[in-house]
Amino acid sequence: MTMLKTETPSQRHALLDQYADDELVGAFLDDQLEAVEAVRRAAPQIAAAVAAAVPRMRAGGRLIYVGAGTSGRLGVLDSVELYPTFSWPHERAVALLAGGAGAMFKAVEGAEDDRAQGAADLRAVQPQDRDVVFLLAASGGTPYVLGALHAARAAGALTIGIANNTDAPVAREAEIGVTLDTGEEVISGSTRLKAGTSQKIALNTISSALMVRLHKVYGNLMVDLKASNAKLVQRSVRLTMHATGVDEATARATLEQCDFHVKVAVVALLNGQSTAEAEAALARAQGSVRAALAG
């Protein structure tokens, strides 16, 4: 049986259990840097994934994440962070995890081997051709994920396969394959280490780039967040002040008129409009702050 790179014992750290504390920490940290380089090498494929996904998102499509174990949990994490960060609707970020929602907190052994269940779970969310499906598997051959991949392709959805081994089925059989070649792990076979880190970076990069393209960022400011707690209210005030140059009292007063929607406050203040007029300008500009200011 050919051993996957992610499962091959590292020759650099054969005596890991004998390292002093500082050496042990150093070994893990140095190895994590390779995750960044693996993602950097895959930048062309990641950019292609963003370009292909944007028109589907503009057409009302969903982001659907599919994975098992660590990879699946990383997909869940990316999906749930989109609403508070970018006001991305909950129903447009769907995460499927082998073993069900309970597997987020307690491993469900064997669930990843059920190819038919992966296909059934994907079909249950009724994929459409405007949806984008992320298929996540460090090994690149997880049956649950492959079942979902083929069901997604049959439905016409855009499939983006992310794997940590070269020539992996998940990446090879998806419409766009992203190979994060992280190689051997410090702890042999523990893909929660740099393989997981690389997947987290790739997912963050893709979803954040999509949100920029969908006008949820102005300059480099997060202007479409949901101010759902005291910290985010303060952040909304600071962002509005930074974008417009007004003082705190003016920023807060304007935000209070539009339910702390930073986009609306920024356009209202910079255009000298009421918040209702700013909302209308943003609607005409399809949510783009720059277009609303220019119009």
pLDDT digits (tens, 9 = 90+) for 40-83: 999 999 999 999 999 999 999 999 999 999 999 999 999 999 99
Q: Are 135 and 150 in contact (CB under 8 A)?
A: no
Residue-wise pLDDT for 7-44, tens only, equals 677 778 889 999 999 999 999 999 999 999 999 999 99
Note whether 95 and 165 are same-domain residues: yes
Residue 108, pLDDT score: 84
Confidence of residue 1 (pLDDT cuts 50, 70, 90): very low
Catalytic residue status for 184: no
Residue 3, pLDDT score: 65
Note whether 127 and 140 are same-domain residues: yes
Note whether 13 and 58 are same-domain residues: yes
Average pLDDT over residues 88-98: 97
Task: Please provide the distance, in angstroms rounded to a whole number, between the alpha carbons at the two ends of the chain.
Answer: 63
Domain that holds residue 239: 217-294
Domain end (from 213, 229, 248): 213
Mean pLDDT of the chain: 94
Q: Are 199 and 164 in contact (CB under 8 A)?
A: yes
pLDDT exceeds 90 at position 192: no
Catalytic residue status for 112: yes
Residue 2, pLDDT score: 61
Note whether 269 and 282 are same-domain residues: yes
Residue-wise pLDDT for 127-186, tens only, equals 999 999 999 999 999 999 999 999 999 999 999 999 999 999 999 999 999 999 999 899
Active-site residue, selected from the candidate residues 23, 34, 109, 112:
112
pLDDT exceeds 90 at position 282: yes
Note whether 47 and 179 are same-domain residues: yes
Note whether 233 and 208 are same-domain residues: no
Domain end (from 186, 213, 240): 213
**CA angle 66-158-37, nearest 5°?**
65
pLDDT exceeds 90 at position 109: no
Note whether 71 and 204 are same-domain residues: yes
Note whether 203 and 242 are same-domain residues: no
Strand locations in the chain, DSSP E? 63-67, 93-97, 132-137, 158-163, 176-179, 217-218, 221-222
Domain end (from 184, 213, 242): 213
Residue 190, pLDDT score: 82
- The number of folded domains in the chain is 2
Residue 12, pLDDT score: 83
Average pLDDT over residues 207-214: 98
Average pLDDT over residues 245-263: 97
Q: When comparing pLDDT for 263 and 14, which is higher?
A: 263
Residue type, 167: D
Note whether 226 and 169 are same-domain residues: no
CATH of the domain at 50: 3.40.50.10490
Active-site residue, selected from the candidate residues 81, 173, 175, 277:
81
Q: Are 125 and 64 in contact (CB under 8 A)?
A: yes
Note whether 289 and 190 are same-domain residues: no
Q: Number of C-alpha atoms within 13 angstroms, CB side, residue 118?
A: 29
pLDDT exceeds 60 at position 241: yes
Note whether 207 and 273 are same-domain residues: no
CATH of the domain at 290: 1.10.8.1080
Average pLDDT over residues 226-245: 94
Residue 14, pLDDT score: 87
Single pTM value for the model: 0.93
d(CA 149, CA 158): 10
